Amino acid sequence: MRVPPVYRRWVTCPEPRPQASLRLFCFHFAGGDASIFRLWTTQLPSFIEVCPIELPGRATRRGEAPITHFTELIEKLSGMMRPFLNQLPAAFFGHSFGGNIAFELTRLLRRTGEPMPLRLFLAASPALFVRPQLPPPVSHLPDSEFLERIGSRYRLPQEVLASEDFQQEVLPALRADMSVAESYHYTREAPLEVPISAFGAEGDPEVSPAEAQAWCRETNVGFRLRMLPSNDHFFVSTERRRLHQGIIEDLQGLAG
């Protein structure tokens, strides 16, 4: 990657592929980090170079202060990704919280006249504009109540939430990401000239099939919904084979 190291803190590339014709930028769910996509770098075909995004305040960037406001995060991301977007065609994949980031980043790129992705992949990500009301804020709550609400909302095992590793390694990033999510406000704009592929889980407690289908309203040039046989909101790992199959099908032939 021909960019200064400061940009590569944000845009990681575990397996550079100089001959790739397209980059897939991957945005993790709340509390996650770039390592979620580690196996993707070797399991997707050679024409795709996988570039997971690493946000500050976690994993390799644990010592940095996290960003806690949506607008600040999107604007910072657009600046850090600009050199990469000018080098090679791109697609965006976002899971849950990461899907809303990928969507709003694409709309910001359109407003500023920057290169936009060839396709958006949104997994376990609700089209929030169809919800009559959003869940009550939780990021301000004490740790015990915060984890109780998060565990109930996403069906996370209590033994995982109570583990020392989770509370030391994940909790600070999760709280920051929930602050970002709670500061997000959807505003209506013209549909994108970017096709959208949505993935949902049939038994997802957080995202209904209707909320996944509603992304069709945000594009003028093609939409596809795939519902996966899972009850897990975090199917980015458990349904990796089906996700990869869908991504490959929809990217084949898009970049030269």
| Whether 237 is catalytic | no
Strand, coil or helix: 66: coil
Question: Among residues 85, 131, 124, 129, which one has the least CA distance to residue 106?
Answer: 85
Question: Quick check: 202 and 229 in contact, CB under 8 A?
Answer: yes
Alpha carbon of 141 to those of 149, 153, 161, 171, 205: distances in Å?
9, 15, 15, 12, 22
User: What whole-number distance in Å separates Cα of residue 147 and Cα of residue 149?
Assistant: 5
Side chain identity, residue 253 = G
User: What whole-number distance in Å separates Cα of residue 242 and Cα of residue 248?
Assistant: 10
User: What whole-number distance in Å separates Cα of residue 13 and Cα of residue 40?
Assistant: 11
Q: Which is catalytic among the residues 78, 96, 125, 230?
A: 96
Q: Are strands 48-52 and 90-95 parallel, antiparallel or unpaired?
A: unpaired
Strand, coil or helix: 138: coil
Orientation angle between helical segments 70-85 and 171-182, nearest 10 degrees: 100
Question: Quick check: 74 and 102 in contact, CB under 8 A?
Answer: no
Q: Are strands 90-95 and 120-123 parallel, antiparallel or unpaired?
A: parallel
Give me the active site residues, please. 96
